[in-house]
């Protein structure tokens, strides 16, 4: 990777394929959300063929448009928007304008899904309460994203992902050695909520399309999907009254270890068989029969000693030497990568985990469509839209006449 500017020449260059059809073809989604969770949710649907319409403010658009990475020679790379808004169309419409709201209502009559992330009660104040929407379109699935949910004492509190990552126990569970809670350096709660929301949306659509049921509201908080992936700490406390030490591992041996070339490897020996292989790889096969290390429970009690022996062995090897040895012994150990190493890895390149999506604005490297379906795979049909790029097109599809479109544009109700 040294000397190669992004996108890497090793990555597959992909052009959008407007003619491709996905398994969700003909599913229409109106996405009124902002930032990460809603865009992650609608991305999953869009990648598999849904017609996702981003409903945005004509003045500034989705806030995600403005999350840019500073470039060395000036300017900013809007990689967030170009990745998580791919396969979508943009409708820039001023919802404070009565005519614009009427046009949106017309679009909602034929929609299958509405996604919103306003503070609870805002949708109702705009005249789009779930009750009104279901009178307009009884089959509509309404996904309501918020920090804390549509009910409960905290429903009106600000609900950014960082607050949820602290509240959920994540930051405490990932305490730094000096005792400082650690927030993830990524939009973790939003991403997990987006993936959870995509599943919930498809479940609600199945109720309508397969079971003949009616539309419903999906109450998607950022909090509860985080709680679902946090493991059993709360269960253990409820049963025993004991809080787990944040530094205590779930299995031993398990850690990241520094090699002599400064690179790192990650190891997980969570079964007794695997732990035995680790001990053989570091030249200490007799440890497998030592009562202090023969079971996971015993290893956890004596983890510091075992961890130190592994660290001492690994630091004598380069990363390549370590990988070769431990893989030869059948140990579940792998490299710890940064971005350049990840993009250069032969497995990532061969499977096209990342692609360079080309467009009129140039190529941007982004993750490929995931997961992989054998018969009806997803595809990238269009790059992320410009603000209001499809407004006229969508309003004409909704039956709005040209004179009204021009009138709305003249008064700033659309872009």
Name the residues annotated as catalytic: 190
CB 394 within 8 A of CB 89: yes
Task: Tell me whether the omega of the peptide bond preceding residue 276 falls within 30 degrees of 0, making it cis.
Answer: no
Q: Looking up tokens 């360079």, which residue turns up?
A: 356
- The closest alpha carbon to 172, from 253, 222, 243, 241, belongs to 243
Question: What's the rounded Cα separation, in Å, for the pair 285 and 307?
Answer: 15
Exposure on the CB side of residue 390, measured as CA atoms within 13 A: 18
Calpha distance 133→387 (Å, rounded): 26
Q: Within 141-232, where are the H helices?
A: 161-167, 170-173, 188-209, 223-228
Q: Are 408 and 53 in contact (CB under 8 A)?
A: no
Q: Is the peptide bond before 371 cis (omega within 30 degrees of 0)?
A: yes
CA nearest neighbour of 232 among 220, 213, 248, 217: 248
Tell me the C-alpha distance between 161 and 184, whole Å. Answer: 10
Structure tokens at 314: 């690994």
Question: Which tokens hold the place of 104?
Answer: 């949106």
Give Cβ neighbours of residue 245 (< 8 Å, ≥ 6 apart): none
| 287 in Cβ contact with 231 (< 8 Å) | no
For the chain, the farthest-separated pair of C-alpha atoms sits apart, in whole angstroms, at 85
DSSP letters of 172-191?
HHT--TTS-----SS-HHHH
């Amino acid at each position: 990777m040294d000397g190669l500017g992004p996108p890497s020449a090793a990555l597959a260059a992909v052009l959008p394929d407007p003619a491709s059809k996905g398994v969700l073809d003909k599913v229409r989604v109106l996405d009124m959300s902002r930032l990460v969770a809603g865009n992650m949710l609608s991305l999953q649907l869009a990648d598999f063929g849904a017609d996702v319409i981003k409903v945005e403010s004509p003045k500034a658009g989705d806030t995600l448009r403005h999350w840019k990475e500073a470039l060395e020679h000036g300017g900013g790379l809007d990689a967030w928007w170009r990745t998580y808004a791919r396969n979508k169309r943009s409708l820039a419409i001023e919802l404070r304008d009565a005519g614009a709201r009427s046009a949106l209502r017309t679009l909602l009559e034929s929609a299958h899904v509405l996604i919103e992330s306003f503070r609870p009660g805002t949708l109702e104040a705009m005249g789009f309460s779930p009750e009104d929407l279901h009178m307009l379109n009884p089959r509509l699935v309404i996904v309501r994203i918020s920090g804390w949910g549509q009910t409960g004492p905290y429903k009106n509190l600000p609900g950014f992902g960082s607050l949820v990552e602290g509240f959920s126990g994540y930051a405490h569970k990932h305490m730094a050695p000096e005792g400082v809670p650690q927030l993830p350096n990524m939009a973790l709660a939003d991403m997990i909520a987006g993936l959870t929301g995509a599943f919930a949306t498809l479940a609600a659509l199945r109720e309508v399309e397969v079971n003949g049921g009616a539309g419903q509201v999906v109450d998607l908080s950022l909090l509860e999907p985080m709680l679902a992936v946090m493991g059993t700490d709360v269960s253990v406390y409820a049963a025993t009254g004991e809080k787990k030490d944040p530094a205590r591992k779930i299995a031993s041996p398990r850690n990241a270890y520094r090699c002599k070339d400064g690179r790192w490897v990650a190891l997980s020996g969570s079964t007794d068989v695997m732990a035995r292989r680790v001990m053989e790889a570091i030249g200490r096969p007799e440890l497998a029969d030592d009562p202090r290390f023969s079971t996971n429970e015993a290893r956890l009690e004596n983890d510091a000693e075992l961890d130190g022996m592994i660290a001492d062995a690994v630091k004598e090897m380069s990363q390549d030497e370590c990988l070769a040895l431990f893989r030869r012994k059948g140990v579940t150990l792998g490299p710890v990568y940064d971005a350049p190493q990840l993009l250069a890895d032969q497995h990532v390149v061969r499977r096209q985990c990342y692609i360079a999506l080309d467009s009129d604005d140039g190529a941007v490297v982004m993750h490929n469509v995931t997961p992989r379906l054998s018969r009806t795979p997803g595809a990238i049909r269009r790059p992320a839209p410009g603000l209001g790029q499809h407004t006229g097109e969508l309003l004409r599809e909704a039956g709005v006449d040209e004179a009204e479109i021009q009138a709305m544009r003249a008064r700033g109700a659309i872009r």
